Amino acid sequence: MIESCPVDKADYVVRPMKDEDIPQVSEIDRQAFPAESLFRPYTSYRQEIHNSVAHYLVACAQTTPLDTGSAKPWFRRLLVHLGAMRAGVQQSNPYGTQMKRILGFVGLWIMLNEAHIIAIAVESSYRRLGIGEDLLIAIIELAAQLNADFITLEVRASNAMAQALYEKYGFHVVGRRSGYYSDNGEDAVLMSTDSIQSELFRAHCQHLKRAHTEKWKNRKATPA
């Protein structure tokens, strides 16, 4: 099990997932999705984060000082780093010094102009503290930077809290998958945004991001 620690001492950043994060992400996955843990066995995570269409971010507790030498937003550093990797160029870590404690994760697939959220989960000791919303904001920003036009996801029909969060960020119900979840035959609600490239959508998300940052500014550092 992941050892807990006090939330009020846990500043964190949102950054791309790395191989060394896999054990903690796997545990969070099992906590959040006990009936349908998404990427078992363990080796599947490693394959997934090196898949060119898959993108994973983690909320990671700050155990050592961040490298503050770069003023570039995290998603711009990510895109530069991905470009260098694909070109075979070795780079130093563009996200600062080592982060160790994983508080949550989110996964995204990009398929043509569609981004699909595979999973979003927060470690049980850190839920209801705004971390899941930070991860959602970050993955929406990343999808926009990767030129996706819209984002889709599935959510359990009974998960009203998650549906409310997605609706807040511009997702709306577009369908239902009957008996989608194998553990109990529960339906999945299919949700989608309108164009995330539109000025209206971008302005709405920026407004929500500022409000979210203000709400939690005394509890955590702003994600990098």
Buried b (16+ CB within 10 A) or exposed e, 43-71: eebeebbeeeeebbbbbbbbeeebeeeee
Task: Tell me whether residue 221 is in a domain.
Answer: no
Domain presence at residue 24:
yes
Q: Is residue 166 annotated as part of the catalytic site, yes or no?
A: yes
pTM for this entry: 0.77
The CA distance from 126 to 129, in Å, is 6
What are the residue ranges in the chain where pLDDT is below 70? 1-10, 36-43, 63-99, 219-224
Give 90-106 pLDDT, tens digit per residue. Answer: 444 444 445 478 999 99
Domain of residue 40, CATH code = 3.40.630.30
Cβ neighbors of 71 (< 8 A, separation 6 or more) are none
Distance between CA atoms of 95 and 81, rounded to whole angstroms?
A: 10
Query: Does residue 3 sit in helix, strand or coil?
Result: coil
Q: Is residue 222 part of a domain?
A: no
Containing structural domain, residue 170: 8-216
What integer pLDDT is reported at residue 4 of this predicted model?
37
pLDDT on residue 186:
92
Give the active site residue among 48, 123, 141, 154.
154
User: Which pLDDT score, from 0 to 100, does residue 18 have?
Assistant: 92
Looking at residue 137, what is its pLDDT? 96
Residue 42 a catalytic site member: no
Closest listed residue to residue 66, CA positions, set 13, 20, 102: 13
Domain membership flag for residue 224: no
Q: Does any domain span residue 2? A: no
pLDDT at 83: 53
CA distances from 119 to 7, 201, 215 (A): 23, 22, 25
* Distance, CA of 199 to CA of 33 (rounded, Å): 35
Q: Which of 56, 95, 126, 166 is catalytic?
A: 166
Alpha carbons within 13 angstroms on the beta-carbon side of residue 197 total 9
**The pLDDT of residue 204:** 97
Residue 26 is assigned to a structural domain of this protein: yes
**Total tally of structural domains belonging to the chain:** 1
